Amino acid sequence: MKQISFIHAADLHLDSPMVGLKHLPANILLRVRESTFTALGKLTAAAIDNNVDFVILAGDLYDGEDRSLRAQSRFRNEMKKLSQKDIPVYVIHGNHDHLSGTWVHLDMPSNVHYFGSDVEMKVFHTKRGDTVHLYGFSYLQRHILDKRIDYYQKQDSADFHIGILHGNEGGGTDHDNYAPFSIKDLLEKEFDYWALGHIHKRTILSETPPIIYPGNLQGRNKKESGVKGCYHISLNELQAKTEFIETSDVLWEEVTVDAASAQSFQEVFQVCQLTIERLRKGGIGTLLTLNLKNVQLDDLQEKKFLDTELLELLLDYENDEESFVWVVNLNLEDSQQLDRKNLMYEADFYTELFATIDNLHNPEEAIAPLYQHQLGRKYLTSLTESEQKELMEKAEKLLIGLLYQ
pLDDT tens-place string over residues 184-205: 999 999 999 999 999 999 999 9
How does pLDDT run across 95-138, given as a tens digit for each residue? 999 999 888 889 999 999 999 999 999 999 999 999 999 999 99
**Amino acid, res. 140:** L
What distance in Å separates the CA atoms of residue 97 and residue 154, rounded to the nearest whole number? 27
How sure is the predictor about 380, in pLDDT bands with cuts at 50, 70 and 90? low
| DSSP-based three-state secondary structure for 3 | strand
How do the residues of the chain divide into helix, strand and coil, expressed in percent and rounded to 5? 35, 25, 40
Residue 332, pLDDT score: 87
Give the residue among 182, 183, 187 at the shortest CA–CA distance from 209. Answer: 187
Residue 370, pLDDT score: 63
Q: What is the DSSP string of 195-242?
A: EEES--S-EEEEETTEEEE---SS--STTS-S--EEEEEEEESS-EEE
pLDDT at residue 335 above 50? no
Give the residue among 172, 170, 241, 239 at the shortest CA–CA distance from 201. Answer: 172
How does pLDDT run across 204-257, given as a tens digit for each residue? 999 999 999 999 999 999 999 999 999 999 999 999 999 999 999 999 999 999
Question: How many whole angstroms from its chain centre is CA 342?
Answer: 40
Residue 22, pLDDT score: 86
β 240-246/250-258 pair status: unpaired
In whole angstroms, how far apart are CA 70 and each of 32, 73, 150, 206, 324? 16, 5, 36, 37, 26
Contact 174, 163 (CB under 8 A): no
Residue 173, pLDDT score: 53
- Identify the residue with better confidence: 293 or 334: 293
How sure is the predictor about 382, in pLDDT bands with cuts at 50, 70 and 90? low
- List of domains in the chain: 3-246 (3.60.21.10), 250-337 (3.40.50), 339-405 (no CATH)
Residue 388, pLDDT score: 64
- Kindly report which listed range (57-61, 348-352, 361-365) carries the lowest average pLDDT score: 361-365
- Identify the residue with better confidence: 175 or 340: 340
Task: Tell me the average pLDDT of the chain.
Answer: 88
Please state the pTM of the whole predicted model.
Answer: 0.83
What distance in Å separates the CA atoms of residue 328 and residue 110, rounded to the nearest whole number? 43
| Residue 389, C-beta contacts closer than 8 angstroms, at least 6 positions apart | none
What distance in Å separates the CA atoms of residue 31 and residue 54, rounded to the nearest whole number? 29
pLDDT at residue 363 above 70? no
Give the residue among 216, 225, 290, 278 at the shortest CA–CA distance from 252. Answer: 225
Burial class from Cβ neighbours inside 10 Å (0-12, 13-18, 19+) for residue 90 reads buried
